[in-house]
Structure 1
């Protein structure tokens, strides 16, 4: 009876493990500003984002640069989007936009993030000064004549955000209590059970299955987000940045589940060996003379 009740508790804990991991990791990644900045900082080196900004600069320059100076200008623009100055600009803008990203996911109106068409756009602002300084340093002709250039990056589509809002609202509500309840059910079930080895095996398999389902759900959600966005490559990069910790923790829990199966198997085998009845005594053969 104790083993049955413990198994039920462990199975309930496994069912809650996936939303608990998603709630803890995703909400923490988005609501904590430093963790958010740590997540999006590598996006400054993403070729899709660099190419998007470089293309906007080239379009703004248009025919304002003589053909003879175009190769040098293009090289300078390419150097700029890969520079430390661009990375610092990216971090600064994201730091200012973080409250708006949070408001956007909570279904509130955002101010710094603009809506252009059907896309949520991160405004990088005026990049003219940084570009002029770099071109001047590199000796590019006509650097002083560079016009004012505003750059932006399309993060995600508005319909995709609306689809994510209900899930994020629920996860934010449960982000504290759900991991505690799931862990309590898992540990409580193992402690209550008389046959702990068997319950560990059930719990380990359950955790592995639920974490694999969570990874699959994250993959399917990414497909939905990118399919609904005007720039799938940019939306995909942004989605990956915000969900990276969810997947990391999911794989860690999956490994813990695998260890639980191994430990449970060893414990169950040892318990069966202890409970096995002793072999009957061997009778000695008697020979008559």
Structure 2
């Protein structure tokens, strides 16, 4: 029995042999891109927020007027000041002196009963004074100045190095309120509460953040800082190569965009779970859960916005790539849009509205014009400072408007020269 002849070797056979390799490499690169997208956003947060003085101060400065931070500061400052007037001793001496001068015993007993109320009155005076100081511009100034060097606390929290107004010890981040306490002492003395002069030099730190796992992430934070802003560029490059190597590039682009969006969404949900876990397991060192929540939310605000933006951007890119494909649904959608544009063009032509040469030129170069619009808006997004999900939606709306204008101009061009099948539309 004769064996079938082997197919001749040639470029076509070699090309078919390389297809599985290219497809495998493409799949690996796209999967790696999906994983690296949220990691890239994390590196940007570490590099631009956690370890950058200007951005860190701009991020935490509004906390100086946050009600939760102010209430925590009032409580901690009042506790640090701790002005104590021995009310029972004072009222007892006063009652003895009055009784020695003929005061009835019942009145002397009533005077002695005022001792605890005197303590409460002093505490109320201190609290009111502390509230006025904290709610004034003084506290905002002190808070901002302290946090201008506070980025060293985050650096120390992540790398174990650095000192400043904010200190980190055993995973606990504390803010020194010494200058605010000194200002409050002067205020109390000026208002006639002379015992405030004898306030001792006690611990005046307010705990902002505490985690026993802080030391475990130092190595990872250092690595993320070293990578810095290069990882996003590498991630985009890997994704682009993966799409270019794919046999079906449009489908690969849809898969990469949806995968990146899904990975970003998972990390965003993990941050929500981490927030709930942290606030539910606050150690006793944290005096105010509300203040801890405010600090947590403020420091991670940029990261959460970035993850949300990446999710929306991924879905938008995937949807755009899908609708631009050759599937039945995309073709039907584009056909309906063109028919609607043709209807508008016929109505305009019947009423003397024409696009002239602009319409015929747009009809001949519509695909290139649409591609240019996409590239321009992609460049705008890349150069946008701190884009958000609303930025993505705004650019998508602009792109849809541009595509609608191009469709109308092309329809007017077809109305002037003839339809796709050669029939004159007007």
Which of residues 10, 21, 31 is equivalent to 2:30? 10
Tell me if 1:61 matches 2:61: no
Tell me if 1:269 matches 2:290: no
Moved more, 106-115 or 253-262: 106-115
Which of residues 178, 182, 194 is equivalent to 2:231? 178
Helix, strand or coil: the match of 2:213?
A: helix
What's the C-alpha RMSD, in Å, of the aligned pairs?
Answer: 3.3
Consecutive unaligned residues in structure 2, runs of 5 or more: 1-18, 87-117, 333-426
Distance 1:115 1:256, change over 3 A: closer
TM-superposed deviation, 1:81: 1.5
Give TM-score, length-normalised by structure 1: 0.78
TM-superposed deviation, 1:122: 1.8
Moved more, 87-96 or 30-39: 87-96
1:72-129 Cα shifts (integer Å, max 9, x gaps): 5433322222222101111111223322431231023646544678733221223244
Alignment of structure 1 residues 77-96 onto 2, 5 Å: 77-96=130-149
Tell me, yes or no, if the aligned pair for 2:153 and 2:168 is still in contact at 8 Å. Answer: no
Aligned residues: 272
TM-superposed deviation, 1:203: 1.5
Tell me, yes or no, if the aligned pair for 2:176 and 2:206 is still in contact at 8 Å. Answer: yes
| 1:283 aligned partner | none
TM-superposed deviation, 1:159: 1.7
Higher relative contact order (CA 8 A, sep 6+): 1
Tell me, yes or no, if the aligned pair for 2:153 and 2:173 is still in contact at 8 Å. Answer: no
Moved more, 237-246 or 224-233: 224-233
Alignment of structure 1 residues 1-289 onto 2, 5 Å: 1=19, 6-59=26-79, 60-64=81-85, 67-68=120-121, 70-108=123-161, 110=163, 112-114=165-167, 119-131=172-184, 140-142=191-193, 145=196, 147=199, 151-157=204-210, 159-223=212-276, 225-226=278-279, 227=281, 229=283, 230-231=285-286, 232-269=289-326
Consecutive unaligned residues in structure 1, runs of 5 or more: 275-289
Tell me, yes or no, if the aligned pair for 1:128 and 1:148 is still in contact at 8 Å. Answer: no
Moved more, 107-116 or 218-227: 107-116
Moved more, 65-74 or 226-235: 65-74
Tell me, yes or no, if the aligned pair for 2:152 and 2:162 is still in contact at 8 Å. Answer: no
Tell me, yes or no, if the aligned pair for 2:171 and 2:213 is still in contact at 8 Å. Answer: no
1:29-75 Cα shifts (integer Å, max 9, x gaps): 01110111111112223333322221233232343495556545433
Counterpart CA distance in 2 for 1:175 and 1:256 is 22
1:225-266 Cα shifts (integer Å, max 9, x gaps): 442543254443333222211111111111110101211211
